[in-house]
Amino acid sequence: MSHDSSHAVAVLVDEGSNPFELGVATELFGLRRPELGRPWYDFTLCSATPSVRMHLGMFTLSGVAGLDAAEAADTLIVPNRPDPQVPPNPAVLAAIRRAAGRGARLMSFCTGAFTLAEAGVLDGRRATTHWRWADEFTARFPRVELEPDVLFVDDGDILTAAGSAAALDLSLHVITRDHGAEIVNAVSRRLVFTGHRAGGQRQFVERPVPDVPDTSLAPTLEWARGRLNEPLTVADLAARAATSQATLHRRFRTELGTTPLAWLTTERIALACRLIERGELRLDAVADASGLGTAANLRVQLRRHTGLTPTAYRRRFGLVPEAVAGA
């Protein structure tokens, strides 16, 4: 996505759409953000009918654009369906197929993956949906590679989120893809939601109510974030949390749905991205400051996590022109 032009996002509002998910899309892609200093998204709600009754008949949404707005969208978002067993509007399916045919990016929230699958655009592709509907989805759409336990799936030009809250995680992930780590951090701070989760985390994470105050991992995580440049190990985290490494692993799985090492790597990559965006041109300095060790490891990890080399990442998201050869 170019920093010099707006990206058109349209949300397909259908009968029974979830107001929360529409609110997520509106908050993330629809609000004006002049403080970011760059063009934001052109946002539209569109529907096959001039007025749409929301989930549980709470209210009726009127005045939305027609499906012609979907024809101009660079990204088309499909929110949940209250009953995935009810066939979707054929006009909506046709709009999705046309969007896929012209190369638009497609996103679904929760059971919206059923709509994408009904349109035929998920065949042979990776996707996810809400865990409650995973068996039904697999039975009906065996050609889709469903990943039932993750928060969201990024399959390039098609992205699917597992549930309503995961729609927020996926939307922040998309903003990261479009604008970089520095911008998504600014958006997250505005949302008072700095801890958005990676897509590979589990949908269902047990969080029992503690018997004593502040038994969460939060103090240990904050301590580690301030020392990412140091050679932190799982043993260091366990010592800080005053627990064994085995217990630490169980707590990470329970509270975060990931492992300590995976969490450390994700945090280091995010710091490296911020340093590159802020203009640090020396890859060895970025690798050292983020705890990734060497420029070679930085290249490998950045490519693995973002799909971009440091050179490409700097060119896309950096504040200064590319100036280092061989990055």
String of DSSP letters for 232-270: --HHHHHHHTTS-HHHHHHHHHHHTSS-HHHHHHHHHHH
Q: For a pLDDT cut of 70, what percent of the chain falls above it?
A: 87
Per the listing, tokens 């050679």 go with: 231
Considering only 51-65, 237-251, 301-315, which range has the smallest mean pLDDT? 51-65
Element (H, E) at 43: strand 41-46
Mean pLDDT across 71-75:
95
Mean pLDDT across 225-248:
92
Handedness of CA 156, 158, 161, 164 (dihedral sign): positive
- Give which of 106, 94, 109, 133 is closest to 18, Cα–Cα: 109
For 246, the token pair is 């085995």
Compute the mean pLDDT over every residue in the chain, rounded to the nearest whole number.
Answer: 85
**Predicted pLDDT at 164:** 77
**Predicted pLDDT at 223:** 93
**Predicted pLDDT at 212:** 39
**Predicted pLDDT at 248:** 92
Q: Is the pLDDT of residue 321 over 70?
A: no
**Predicted pLDDT at 205:** 44
112-121, 183-192, 196-205, 214-223: which has the highest mean pLDDT? 112-121
**Predicted pLDDT at 149:** 82
**Predicted pLDDT at 6:** 81
**Predicted pLDDT at 98:** 96
Phi then psi dihedrals of residue 289, to 5 deg: -70, -30
- Dihedral, 166, 168, 172, 178 alpha carbons, nearest 10: 90
Residue of higher predicted confidence among 37 and 57: 37
**What is 209-327's CATH number?**
1.10.10.60
What's the chain's Rg over C-alpha atoms?
Answer: 21
Considering only 118-127, 188-197, 231-240, which range has the smallest mean pLDDT? 188-197
Q: β-strand 152-154 against 158-161: which pairing, if any?
A: antiparallel
Q: Is the pLDDT of residue 107 over 90?
A: yes
Element (H, E) at 45: strand 41-46
- What's the predicted TM-score (pTM) here? 0.70
Question: Quick one: the chain helix, strand, coil %, rounded to 5?
Answer: 45, 15, 40
Delimit the domains of the chain by residue range: 7-191, 209-327
56-70, 80-94, 108-122, 189-203: which has the highest mean pLDDT? 108-122
CATH architecture of structural domain 7-191: 3-Layer(aba) Sandwich (3.40)
At 146-171, the pLDDT tens digits run 998 888 999 999 999 997 788 998 99
